[in-house]
Amino acid sequence: MQYISTRGGGEPLSFGETLIEGLARDGGLAVPAVMPQVGRATLDRWRALTYPQLATEVLSLFATDIPREDLARMTAAAYASFPSEVVPLRPIGDGLTLVGLSEGPTLAFKDIAMQFLGQVLEYALERTGSVLNVLGATSGDTGSAAEHALRGKDRISVFMLSPHGRMSAFQRAQMFSLDDANVHNIAIDGVFDDCQNLVKQLAGDLEFKRAQHLGAVNSINLARITAQVVYYFWAWLRATDAIGPTEVSFTVPSGNFGNILSGFYAKRMGLPVRRLVLATNENNVLDEFFRTGVYRPRTAAETHATSSPSMDISKASNLERFIFELVDRDAARVVTAWSELESQGHSDFSAEQPRFADEFGLVSGTSTHADRIETIRRVHAEAGEIIDPHTADGVKVAREHVEPGVPMLVLETAKPEKFADTIREALGVEPEYSPELRAMLDAPQHVTELPDDADALRAFIADASLGGGTVKTTPVGADRHES
């Protein structure tokens, strides 16, 4: 299997090369040169597999340059700390079933892919004898999942950008309480899109990227997308155990379009999926795109701070991979569309909009804070489940797209403990924390504050990267944030 860029530049790369490269050298995103296909006989054979075994099978279709026995070892290690089922399914009534993706170490769906990514990155670096300085951006859960997967690894340092003051207290604690020498938390004066733009700007600076051995763990890294494909197959297999092979629909809370893109890839591979329902919060740029065909990202000032903060994103980097398929893999059209986006502030695909639902099965909807509160209350009253606000966005929009005879699976995004304020408002209860989580919340926090400035970020990374100097951070609240 070879990987090409959505913008047509550069030579095809292997999975391992793509893994280390992150953003393609021409500024595009890596995609499979040919989408692997899975037939009904293969699905039947996979039904009896455990989650790590299924992960080995699915990932072997993408990582053809990695021996199967090595993949099997890495998937077993990646999910060893999860419950035996790894991804449980839980019915909540009205034809909806939650796909439990929050059983990992940081209580969020990002752990599923990130734990594998930590294994395979270390494997690739050991094979080549190289090091990697990971540069990422997070709106909440990617950062902690990446840091917990990569902390303490000798060949990897992590530089994680987050929007200052825009995450929940729990999300900040999960990241900033880590004091591993290879983990660097950086709070940017801006919103998530500013953080993401900085990542892309430095990744596009090829001289700096090569000199500092920069890589990515955001969903721009294709390994994240392929690892997430696995749980779509798993959920379909579990949901159809009793009823036999049939189409199902998935609803996915989405900000950066990575999670639902994995579902789109699963459908393109042959998984029987009827609808992929995208749920947004008040930052509903993607909902507007799928309803109208016009993609119009908002400015930082126009990006709302909401009670589902991990989705407070107005420029979805993974949308480019979908656009690549929409324009029949015409890289020149992708480049033109993105040039128009830069010059005009929008890209117009309204002529192709009917294909979104008819050909690709993609539909969408928006949820508000009031919707989240009402949905959390309703699910708790009817099913006895407490769901987090992002999952509530998904449940609310899923109810609008339920079809008779078609199971609707809603992808859970995180445990409710991570969003105590919203749970308290909705249900009047305090989340219960284990002694370990309480200690984390009470621990000193370490973070460096930087302006939204690429040169300042370059200087920080050059000084703190593997092979460079050493930068230490002081606890939050101290007079200086860098020393």
pLDDT grade for 141, boundaries at 50, 70 and 90: confident
pLDDT at 334 over 70: yes
Per-residue model confidence (pLDDT) at position 165: 87
Per-residue model confidence (pLDDT) at position 40: 94
Tell which wins on pLDDT, 470 or 225: 225
Q: What is residue 134's DSSP assignment? A: E
pLDDT at 354 over 90: yes
3-class state of residue 160 by DSSP: strand
What mean pLDDT do residues 85-97 have?
95
- In angstroms, the CA 67 to CA 131 distance is 22
Catalytic-labelled residue, pool 110, 209, 396, 418: 110
- From the list 391, 311, 362, the residue with the least C-alpha distance to 100 is 391
pLDDT at 91 over 70: yes
Q: Known catalytic residue: 472?
A: no
Give 147-168 pLDDT, tens digit per residue.
999 999 989 999 999 999 888 8
Beta strands in 359-418 (DSSP E): 362-366, 408-411
- In angstroms, the CA 196 to CA 316 distance is 9
pTM: 0.90
- In angstroms, the CA 249 to CA 259 distance is 14
3-class state of residue 278 by DSSP: strand
Q: Which amino acid is at 339?
A: S
pLDDT grade for 20, boundaries at 50, 70 and 90: confident
Residue 64: its H or E element: none
Q: What are phi and psi of 213, to 5 degrees?
A: 55, 50
Would strands 30-32 and 3-5 be described as parallel, antiparallel, or unpaired?
A: antiparallel
- In angstroms, the CA 212 to CA 461 distance is 8
Residue ranges per structural domain of the chain: 87-108+222-427
pLDDT at 467 over 60: no
160-174 burial string, b = 16+ CB within 10 Å, else e? bbbbbebbbebbbbb
The residues, any chain, with a CB within 8 Å of residue 73's CB and separated by 6 or more, are none
pLDDT at 25 over 90: no
Per-residue model confidence (pLDDT) at position 73: 98
The residues, any chain, with a CB within 8 Å of residue 170's CB and separated by 6 or more, are 417, 418, 419, 420, 441
The CA distances from residue 417 to 115, 219, 431, 434, in Å, are 21, 24, 5, 10
CATH (residue range 87-108+222-427): 3.40.50.1100
The residues, any chain, with a CB within 8 Å of residue 378's CB and separated by 6 or more, are none
